[in-house]
Amino acid sequence: MLFIKHRFTSLWAVFLTLIFTMTTQAQSDDIPRAADGSPDFSGIWQAIGSSHYNIEPHSADFGPMFELGAIGAIPGGLGIVDGGEIPYTVAARQQQIENKANWLELDPVVKCYMPGIPRANYLPFPFQIIQSPEHIVFAYEFASASRIVYVDQPDFEFPIYSWMGHSLAHFEGNTLVVDVTGQIADTWFDHAGNHHTEDLRVTERYTHMGENVVMYEAILEDPNVYTEPWKVSFPLYRRLEENMQLLEYKCVEFTEELIYGHLRKQD
């Protein structure tokens, strides 16, 4: 009798293990995969929210041009910073406050400069990912910005500092991990003047939450302005419209009067 009971228990354990394995495999396979079996992030994606105004929690506020009324106002937002607040040094927080007070004049994105990482991923514009085993291309609609991510090439050091930085990637299970270095200090994270120096290091993590949603996380490190590393996180949604494609948003022509007018004032 004990033998039969033991055998039944063993068979039940094997059955449960099989069900768990099949369930885990099904969940793992419920995501797009490339020909080499790695998770496939190809497609057109976009974030939803107001983090491009301020990545920290913020209330709705007047915009910089009062004559635009409600359509020119800044919407509130819960922010995307884990814990709510960037761990600035005292001096760096003061710089952020000064930046925010003059953001329309100082924000590089207002002048159509490339937005840098991670800002490019939560601007209110779509971006496209094109994936191959050796390289992943990110093409952004805003300012036609782009970057090439080098997969499994850890010894490829960045040659020069640039607006979009130098991106090296590898896979950790079903997560794409991208290490971004070599960004110039001129890029901001938002209109609120949140900033960094050229020593910024961004570790991005892209994880499928299903076929059409990717969870994005990024750890940011810069000992020049932050007292400790900090993280942002938000979902990216696949654009599902028929014939969806990136359109041109070459914004230089929209900034010429702004830039030249400022130069004339200086003269």
Residue 24 lies in a domain: yes
**φ, ψ for residue 203 (rounded to 5)?**
-110, 105
**Smallest Cα–Cα separation from 178: which of 118, 237, 223?**
118
Tally the domains of the chain.
2
Quick: pLDDT tens for 99-130: 999 999 999 999 999 999 999 999 999 999 99
pLDDT attached to residue 66: 79
Residues 6+ apart with CB under 8 A from 98: 193
Residue 185 three-state SS:
coil
Q: Do residue 24 and residue 50 come from a single domain? A: no
Q: Widest CA span of the chain, in angstroms?
A: 100
Residue 3 has pLDDT above 50, yes or no: no
Beta-bridged to residue 151, according to DSSP, are 169
Q: Do residue 200 and residue 224 come from a single domain? A: yes
Residue 38 lies in a domain: no
- pLDDT category of residue 255 using cuts at 50, 70 and 90: confident
In the chain, the percentage of residues whose pLDDT exceeds 90 is 77
- Would you say how long the chain is, in residues? 267
- Average pLDDT over all residues of the chain: 89
**Smallest Cα–Cα separation from 216: which of 207, 225, 227, 203?**
207
pLDDT attached to residue 8: 46
Residue 54 three-state SS:
coil
Residue 262 has pLDDT above 90, yes or no: no
Quick: pLDDT tens for 75-103: 999 999 999 999 999 999 999 999 999 99
Q: Do residue 21 and residue 107 come from a single domain? A: no
DSSP alpha helix (H) spans, the chain: 2-28, 90-101, 103-106, 252-266
**Smallest Cα–Cα separation from 123: which of 103, 106, 143?**
143
Quick: pLDDT tens for 140-159: 999 999 999 999 999 999 88
Residue 36 lies in a domain: no
The model's pTM is 0.85
Residue 103 lies in a domain: yes
Q: Which domain holds residue 132?
A: 43-266
Residue 239 lies in a domain: yes
What is the arithmetic mean of pLDDT over 171-175?
97
Least confident of 9-23, 85-99, 135-149, 230-244: 9-23
